[in-house]
Amino acid sequence: MPSFQTLEDPTPELASVVYSADGKILGTFYRNTDRVRIPATEIPAVVQQALIAVEDRRFYRHAGLDLRGIAGAVFSTLTGHMRGGSTLTQQLARNLYDAVGVDRSLWRKLKEAVVAVFLEYRYSKEEILAMYLNTVPFGGVTYGIQAASRYYFGKDAKELSLPEAALLIGLLKGPTYYSPYKYPQRALARRNLVLDLMAEAGMISKAQAEAAKKAPLGTGAAPYTASQSQGLAPYFREYLRGWLSEWARTRGYDLYRDGLQVYTTLDSRLQMHAESAATAHLRTFQRVFEKELYSRPLPWEKDTAILVRAMLRSERYNTAKKAGLPEAEIRAQFHKPVRMRLFTWVPPGYKDTILTPWDSLAYYLRFLEVGLVTIDPHTGEIKAWVGGINHTYFKYDHVAQGKRQVGSTFKPFVYTAAMDNGYSPCYEELNVPVEIPIQVDGRDTVWSPRNADRDIGQKVTLQKALALSLNIITARLMKTLGPEVVIEYARRMGIQSDLEPVYALGLGVSDLSVLELTSAYGCFPTLGVWREPLFVREIRDRRGNIVETFTAKSRRALSEKTAYLMVEMLRWVTIAGTAGELRWRYGLADLDMGGKTGTTQNHADGWFVGFTPHYVTGVWVGTADRAVHFYSLENGQGARMAMPIWALYMKAAYSDTILKLPRKRILPPPGFQMPTCSSSRTTTQDAPTPSSDLEEYLR
């Protein structure tokens, strides 16, 4: 018999469930059994009625044992017609407790009866129904009505309709035999029988049963797979899985069987808009890239080191390495033909449909990839996370895992340091190349950057210089301020990656992640407060008890005045600067926004980081290898590669009638007066001297 402690506290293996901030199930983590427990209140009445009509019509009239049913089963057995007499409670006893057993014996039936009576004494009828529906198998690794509903219909159990409920209950007699995917006619007949039994038991009317019979099976062509690569936010879920595994290990939980309930900060509606925007833009922009890429000899044909780097990054290579295979054997495997055609597109020059893994490396190198993250800067909560274009084939996460050169999106850190050290947006700087002595590999040389448009000669305000992303003005500010001062401000705003103290730092030569760069930009709409990115609100155990809650760490990084000056400066980028198309081309003129485009060397990386009063969102677009890139600035700039994704995403989010995001503005701090750029300009001789005591300025 099960021990008394086990009877009081049945603990079947439960999958851990990940929820979005708006209550949607994002996914589950399980090892052998995909079983999710939900309360009785979330199980529709039609599901419970179907179960009772098929399995135990006197469920509410017995105390665990149905003597009439037992007598009928004995009589049928004696007359040669085997049928069961177990109540739902007896079946639950078998499902919950392994010690009861499943062998055909009088001893098992006795144990089953004793446990059933105990369950009836210990739990209400509603709780027994919920436990039954949460533990019963629906085929394969799918256990429980919630997991079954998601597997067969791609929806939560509480959303099941009458015909869908009848189909799932009908599966209990034989999930394989009545599989709607393998044997749809059997499944349909079984579902309709369940509907007839419900009508016969008075659960529904005959008219309701006949109407439900006319509905299609509704399961789609294939199961809604529980693969980690499928569904909403797969890159976020994989990042979360790694963090949760460590969290659970240090606290004595098993992530894959203890039924943890993980409530994340992700908003499923924003996530859908973000994924849709990335897909829509890259679907068309990929063709633009390929046209330009194939206009010249392919990069990996000129330099085979590109393919070698791709091999070293591949999942196949790393799996073989972990298995201990010799390097020579691993590399040889990449040149063995694949026995089936894996791809719908074959690179030019390949006539055969059978490719080698080496060929596939070149195939995947041509794809533009994406990294996007949205953060609520007022709370630090991550609201959307798009780590790549397809998690099935591209596992590398470009939000937190990848780091790339950020180009001109680093310039706001330079201008922030300038504003905080006494400069004004109206201050004029000479747009003439400056020569800065530097050392390279121990040799004295001169660094003298040029503007992307080669335009030089006139004085421009800092406001205009940032809007037009003028390299020369940024270099002059870097010379005056010094790299160390700029690095200090970047650190205060949340940048943690290595930053080399060189003058070229201001033009974005350092590699940063999308996550940390976006988080740093959050200091602008919050008027100077940086908050650590947060992705989990709370974790509960299988019974719903709170185990731990989480809040974002925060600190004041900038004065309110400096932060708001930068808000105005970055607004101007979207009004008369490199991001001006946001207003007139994408119809966002009525949205209060600011941001900065970024383009790196050889057009390998395109960036846009923008903010609204509600969210700050960073977008990166590029290929897996920096050597595979656009040849022209026309298409290879951040305003073409990344900014359209941000625009499509924000337009969809602010038009969403469910989200109902209000159109408000970021307001200046009390008593703030915005400088008015008049004809009387500040001269170069009036340039302020950078303070060595940043703490004093921040105070």
Which pLDDT score is estimated for 68? Answer: 65
What's residue 108's pLDDT? 62
* Residues 380 and 537: beta-carbon distance below 8 Å: no
Q: Which pLDDT belongs to residue 358? A: 86
Q: How do residues 211-245 score in pLDDT, each as one tens digit?
A: 999 999 988 766 776 567 778 999 999 999 999 99
Number of neighbours of residue 148 by Cβ within 10 angstroms: 27
* pLDDT at residue 695, as a whole number: 36
Q: Cα(258)–Cα(17) distance, rounded to whole angstroms? A: 10
Angle at 167 between CA 163 and CA 172, to 5 degrees: 150
Residue 101 gets which letter from DSSP?
-
pLDDT in tens, 527-564: 999 999 999 999 999 888 999 999 999 999 999 999 99
How high is the pLDDT of residue 262? 97
The upper half-sphere exposure of residue 208, i.e. CA atoms within 13 Å in the direction of its Cβ, equals 15
User: In which residue ranges of the chain is pLDDT below 70?
Assistant: 1-12, 67-85, 97-109, 221-222, 225-227, 338-354, 678-699
Domains and their CATH numbers in the chain: 36-229 (1.10.3810.10), 369-668 (3.40.710.10)
Tell which residue, 636, 605, 601, has the closest CA to residue 619.
605
Q: What is the pLDDT of residue 681?
A: 40
Shortest CA distance to 166 belongs to which of 191, 138, 199? 191
**How far apart (Å, rounded) are the C-alpha atoms in residues 211 and 655?**
37
Can you give the pTM of this predicted structure? 0.82
